[in-house]
Amino acid sequence: MDCEQRAKRRKIQRQWIAATLEHPARTENDPDDPELAHALRPIAERGFRVLRVIYNERCEPVRVVTVFFDDGVTDL
């Protein structure tokens, strides 16, 4: 299953992914893969749940690996 299918199944809109990549509330390095980064942003339309977008920042354009709501993030 690719990232786009997972996003649809998780009811994550493309514009939320784009907004998170363009204007993240916070970015983090991936703990396991130095080519990956994480962008986080609360989504108002989903009760301010934090969307986590994991992407390869070395690709041009960036390649999104996966997206999900990370309910473990409470400090944004």
Q: Is residue 24 part of a domain?
A: yes
Exposed, middle or buried by CB within 10 Å (0-12, 13-18, 19+), for 67? buried
Q: Is residue 57 domain-resident? A: yes
Cα 64 from Cα 46, distance rounded (Å) = 21
**Which percentage of the chain shows pLDDT scores above 90?**
74
Tell me how crowded residue 52 is: count the other CB atoms within 10 A of its CB: 19
How many CA atoms does the CB half-sphere of 49 hold within 13 Å? Answer: 16
Q: Which two tokens stand for residue 74?
A: 């409470």
Strand pairing partners for 56? Answer: 36, 63
Q: Is residue 76 part of a domain?
A: no
Count of structural domains within the chain:
1
pLDDT for 2-45, tens place per residue? 788 888 888 999 999 999 999 999 999 999 999 999 999 999 99
pTM: 0.91
**Does 75 map to a domain?**
no
Q: Which range of residues forms the domain containing residue 10?
A: 3-69
